[in-house]
Amino acid sequence: MVTQTSADATGTAHAASNFAFLDAALWKRFRSARSTADVANAWLALQCRFIDGANSGVVVLGEPDVGPYAPVAYWPDQEAHDPELAAAAEHAMLGREGVVLGASEGSGEAETTCVAHPLLIDDRICGVVAISVAGPSAQMRNVMRQLQWGTGWIEALWRRKQSRNDEEFREQTATTFDMVATVLEQARFRDACNGLVTEMAVRLNCDQVSIGFVRRDQAEVVAVSHTARFGARMNLIRDIGAAMDEAIDQHAVVSYPVIEDWEYRVTREHAALAATYHLGAVLTVPLHVQERLVGALTFERGLGEEFDEATVEMADAVASVVGPMLEEKRLNDRNILVKVGESLSTQLRRLVGPHYFGRKLATAIGVLLIVFFSFATGDFRVTSDAVLEGLVQRSVVAPFEGYLATQNVRAGETVTEGQLLATLDDRDLSLERLRWSTTYRQHLAEYDRALAERERAEANIIRTQIDQAAAQIELLDEQLMRTRVVAPFDGIIISGDLSQSVGATVERGQEFFKITPLDAYRVILEVDDGEIEHIQIGQTGTLRIASIPEDPLDFTVERITPVSEQSDGRNFFRVEAQLHRITERIRPGMKGVAKTNIEERLLIRIWTEGLVDWIRLMLWKWLP
């Protein structure tokens, strides 16, 4: 019995020693873990060591409140996949609180229970831990408490990592701003490149930093750190350019030796550069401008030194910021002829290459319009306001001074030849005729008496008086006949209204009416002074009257008035034209629009002639 007890004590001590050794190994593994997966595996193993009856466990992590969430650690091994653990983990993440599944409340029997607790950092869920435990339900409170305390380690490690990331980000931002300042303080492109590569070599502890830009589909080195001229090292420059081309062709950062866990990249030119010039590491970062690669930065370190991920991120951040700035400086520093040539080449590539459908469509439309306007012609016509006038206009005037007795017509009425238009008061003329008639008969009686008495001298005198009286009577008869104002021909009264002047005195030559015939018209064109040069006698055109626009009337230009007139703020010349056809619907005074045919011209010249003349006038006005 004593022997058995001694053996049990020895076994217990040995087991305790093993457990102590295992705990020390787990803590060491936890402290030395670098990746998130290593930290999660070590932490889960420690948690399961502290929980009696732990069968298996899983840790699920992801971006806080964003995801995606995925298992990163299993215990005791990667084969420990338990659907019940997955269900408990899902319930804990959805409810954002601890969950116990599989144990009946108050049960004291040992059974398998799944305990899950979410990993919350600043009230953001970043994952969950779930452990399967064999034991009574009363034990689950201790298990949950252990998980709650244990999540604090994850939070502390996360915050420590976040602090390191923030520090790296601040350092990266400060370096980037310094590089931007270095580029901006230089006015010329090459000076900015030299300053950048020299500063980058110092900041990133590199032996040499080079920058190149794509020219004719190949990278051309334009600056090397600590070197103003590098023509004597053409082999090195050519090899650096080849390394830049290797990174640009792959559209990716290329490092040699390759950093662990990186995606596969071709590094042949980088390896050749390192081997030829005994370099420890070579890193090339492409320069982006939007989606276009314009160049690259190449970093070199000596033997025994390599680039870590922090340095690569720093170089990539600087390249992404200074790339567009340097490309802008490069473009601005070019010769004007080079700029024009490259611009034309770019537009040509966009025109004949893929994409840019709108540009191609606009160009096609433009070419079609140019071709169309190069051959399309039309009739060039001068447009002007027009008014109809009678070919003959006759004024009816007062034959002598007197009084208006009657009026029979007004403006707008048609009259026939000989129609009575108005009459003058003839009472004074009638009395005067009666007086002269009496005088005439008296002289005849005296003349007969003188002949009977054979008084020749007196008879001759009386004969003269008789002729005078006869002449006066004839004159008065003519005046009495002219008191009737009649129409000289068939026509229309275009002006004159005497209805308010009956009984009033009239002066000799005073106009009563204006009459024009209905079968003879002329067109008066009011041609703008800027277009009168196109008008010539004998040209034809078309008139559309406002009241009858559906009936066009053709005309021929007969006379051009050489003196301009002004109306409504414009200068114009009166051009007389003869109608080819007269209709019953037209009347004197009607207005419309006339188009005079000049010649056949290109449409583009017709439509832009007014604009061209205006531009010429403005240039003449403003130019010295």
For residue 104, the domain's CATH number is 3.30.450.40
- Which of the pair, 613 or 10, is modelled with greater confidence? 613
Confidence band of 231 (pLDDT split at 50, 70, 90): low
Q: How much is the pLDDT for 247? A: 93
Q: How much is the pLDDT for 107? A: 43
Q: Are 480 and 433 in contact (CB under 8 A)?
A: yes
> Does the pLDDT value for residue 157 go beyond 80?
no
Residues 520 and 505 in one domain: no
Q: How much is the pLDDT for 553? A: 92
Span 278-333, pLDDT tens digits = 899 999 999 998 888 999 999 999 888 888 888 888 888 888 888 899 888 888 88
Mean pLDDT of 250-257: 91
Q: How much is the pLDDT for 340? A: 87
> Which tokens hold the place of 553?
């009337």
Q: How much is the pLDDT for 138? A: 66
Confidence band of 240 (pLDDT split at 50, 70, 90): very high
Residues 291 and 216 in one domain: yes
DSSP label of 391: S
> Does the pLDDT value for residue 6 go beyond 70?
no
Q: How much is the pLDDT for 592? A: 93
CA-wise closest residue to 512 among 397, 381, 414 = 397
The dihedral of CA 534, 536, 540, 542: what is its sign? Answer: positive
Least confident of 57-61, 131-135, 147-151, 589-593: 147-151
**Domain limit, last residue, from 462, 485, 513:** 513
Q: Bin 29: left if φ > 0, else alpha if -120 < ψ < 50, else beta.
A: alpha
Q: Are 453 and 430 in contact (CB under 8 A)?
A: no
- Side-by-side strand order, sheet with 420-424: 484-486, 420-424, 402-407, 505-506
Cβ-count burial of 30 within 10 angstroms (0-12 exposed, 13-18 middle, 19+ buried)? middle
Q: How much is the pLDDT for 20? A: 45
| Average pLDDT taken over every residue of the chain | 83
> Does the pLDDT value for residue 122 go beyond 60?
yes
> Does the pLDDT value for residue 76 go beyond 50?
yes
Mean pLDDT of 375-388: 91
Residues 415 and 459 in one domain: yes
Q: How much is the pLDDT for 477? A: 84
| Helix or strand holding residue 414 (H, E) | strand 414-415
Reduced to 3 states (helix: H, G, I; strand: E, B; else coil), residue 620 is helix
**Domain limit, last residue, from 479, 513, 547:** 513
Is 83 contained in some domain? Answer: yes
Is 27 contained in some domain? Answer: no
Residues 509 and 606 in one domain: no
Mean pLDDT of 564-593: 88
Residues 92 and 72 in one domain: yes
Residues 533 and 499 in one domain: no
Phi/psi of residue 128, each to 5°?
-155, 150
Residues 199 and 266 in one domain: yes
**Domain limit, last residue, from 498, 513, 528:** 513
Mean pLDDT of 218-239: 80
- Which of the pair, 559 or 233, is modelled with greater confidence? 559
Is 452 contained in some domain? Answer: yes
Query: How many whole angstroms separate alpha carbon 471 and alpha carbon 108?
Result: 166
Span 13-69, pLDDT tens digits = 443 344 444 566 666 666 666 677 777 778 888 888 778 888 888 888 888 877 788
Q: Total domain count for the chain?
A: 4
Is 348 contained in some domain? Answer: no
Residues 75 and 119 in one domain: yes
Span 182-200, pLDDT tens digits = 888 888 888 889 988 998 8
User: What secondary structure, in 3-state letters, does 192-247 show?
Assistant: HHHHHHHHHHHHCCCCEEEEEEEECCEEEEEEECCECCCHHHHHHHHHHHHHHHHH
Is 618 contained in some domain? Answer: yes
Mean pLDDT of 368-374: 91
Residues 217 and 294 in one domain: yes
- Domain of 483? 394-513
Residues 258 and 402 in one domain: no
- Side-by-side strand order, sheet with 511-516: 394-397, 511-516, 491-495, 414-415
Residues 578 and 618 in one domain: yes
Residues 216 and 157 in one domain: no
Is 174 contained in some domain? Answer: no
Phi/psi of residue 217, each to 5°?
65, 15
CB atoms closer than 10 angstroms to residue 488: 15
Is 353 contained in some domain? Answer: no
Q: How much is the pLDDT for 21? A: 45
Q: How much is the pLDDT for 26? A: 64
CATH of the domain at 601: 2.40.30.170
Is 345 contained in some domain? Answer: no
Reduced to 3 states (helix: H, G, I; strand: E, B; else coil), residue 163 is helix
Least confident of 290-299, 484-493, 584-593: 484-493
